[in-house]
Structure 1
Amino acid sequence: MLLWINGPFGGGKTQTAHEIRRRLPGSVICDPEHVGFGLRRTLPPQLRGDFQDLASWRQGVVEVLDLALTRHEGVVIAPMTVTSSPYFAETVGRLGELGHDVRHFTLLAQRETVLERLRERGLGRLLRYATGRNASSGQDSWAVRQLDHCLERLREPEFAEHLWTDESTVSKTADRIAVLAGLTLLPNNEGRLRTRLRQARVGVRSIRLD
């Protein structure tokens, strides 16, 4: 089974994916973003754009996830924002056409909720400052500029199943996905402090400086 977790940037996809992996033995995360950044880094800076516009990304994601789903016995989790209907068909849709059990979920929240979550990721700005990179404010970030477009597009029926997360924790969102997908997660016996520390580590590992 493939769990594709969609949603706006800053919407909680990565944290939810790691929560499911933590509590679902045998599951793995295969992040399509890694394929994209690999392709992006092979290009001169002046030619770098949205890697989803590259046919090689869309084809590569299908090839990689098809291999993982065919050879790996456990559930495969792919956290990735896709808002383009054609690109969605070429990736998520194509994997279903290949015969895989694809379960797609879109995490949604009100604009103010997502902005607050993005502000909470301020550690990224500290790291950019420490490495000498330009530390622009969250309001000027690429994620914020894309937010309205993402929220508008992802509300469309083609991107269901929709899960609103404004009042939900990461753990509860993972539980909801598991129920809808017919999966059983291990109980969440983690304390609040440990949860915050673990989620902070996940956040730091997901920061992109280029």
Structure 2
Amino acid sequence: MLLWINGPFGGGKTHTAYELRRRLSGSVVCDPEHVGFGLHRMLPPALRGDFQDLPAWRQGVYEVLDLALREHGGPVIVPMTVVEPEVFGETVGRLRESGHDVRHFTLMASRATVLRRLRERSVVHVLKAAAGGSAPRRRESFAESMLDRCLERLRAPEFAAHVWTDRLTVPAVAEAVAGAAGLTLAPDTVGPGRFG
């Protein structure tokens, strides 16, 4: 089974994916952003746009996830924002057409909640930079600029099932996703973590 965790940037996809992996025996997280980052590194800066617009990204994501689903014995968890129906069809739709059991969930939250999460995440990056790390503020700026478009598009029926996360902890969101997919998670032994 593939669990595709969609949602706006800053919506909690990655936190949820890793909570699911931690509590779902035999599962693995496959993050399509890595395919996109690799394609960006290969292109001259002037040609780097939204990597989801590259046919190579959509094909690569399909091929990698198809392989993982055919050869891996456990659930495959994918945290990735997709708001374009065409891109959704060439990834999620194509995997379903290939006979894979793909469960799609969109994590939703109010605009204010997502903005708060993005800004808190940005503060963490600034603190890490002060300690000698790097601060990818540009990524949060991109996320903020795309927020309204993401929230509007992701409300569409093709992006259901929707899980509203405003008042839920990370473990509660993971439990909602797993329950809707008919999966049983191991007990939560870490505590009530929350989104950024």
TM-score, normalised with respect to structure 2 = 0.93
Is the contact between residue 5 and residue 80 of structure 1 (CA under 8 Å) also seen in structure 2? yes
Residue 154 (structure 2) aligns with = 154
Residue aligned with 1:146, SS? helix
User: Which one-letter code corresponds to 1:123 in the other structure?
Assistant: V
Could you tell me how far 1:124 is from its partner in structure 2? 1.9
Residue aligned with 1:74, SS? coil
Could you tell me how far 1:189 is from its partner in structure 2? 1.7
Is the contact between residue 128 and residue 134 of structure 1 (CA under 8 Å) also seen in structure 2? no
Identity %: 64
Q: Does 1:183 align with 2:188?
A: no
Q: Does 1:34 align with 2:34?
A: yes
Q: How many corresponding residue pairs?
A: 194
- Deviation track 1:132-155 (CA, whole Å, cap 9, x = no partner) reads 7685695xx110000000000000
RMSD across aligned C-alpha pairs, in angstroms?
2.0
Q: Does 1:125 align with 2:126?
A: yes
Residue 79 (structure 1) aligns with = 79
Q: 1:137 to 1:27 in 2, by over 3 A?
A: closer
Partners in 1 of 2:46 and 2:126 — Cα distance? 23
Partners in 2 of 1:67 and 1:137 — Cα distance? 30
Structure 2: segments with no counterpart, 5+ residues: none
TM-score, normalised with respect to structure 1 = 0.87
Residue aligned with 2:81, SS? coil
Partners in 1 of 2:165 and 2:116 — Cα distance? 13
Is the contact between residue 28 and residue 77 of structure 1 (CA under 8 Å) also seen in structure 2? yes
Could you tell me how far 1:65 is from its partner in structure 2? 0.2
Is the contact between residue 125 and residue 135 of structure 2 (CA under 8 Å) also seen in structure 1? no
User: Which one-letter code corresponds to 1:157 in the other structure?
Assistant: P
Spell out the pairing of 1:45-60 with structure 2 (5 A cutoff).
45-60=45-60
Residue 9 (structure 2) aligns with = 9
Q: 1:44 to 1:20 in 2, by over 3 A?
A: same
Q: 1:117 to 1:92 in 2, by over 3 A?
A: same
Partners in 2 of 1:103 and 1:150 — Cα distance? 20
Structure 1: segments with no counterpart, 5+ residues: 204-210
User: Which one-letter code corresponds to 1:159 in the other structure?
Assistant: F
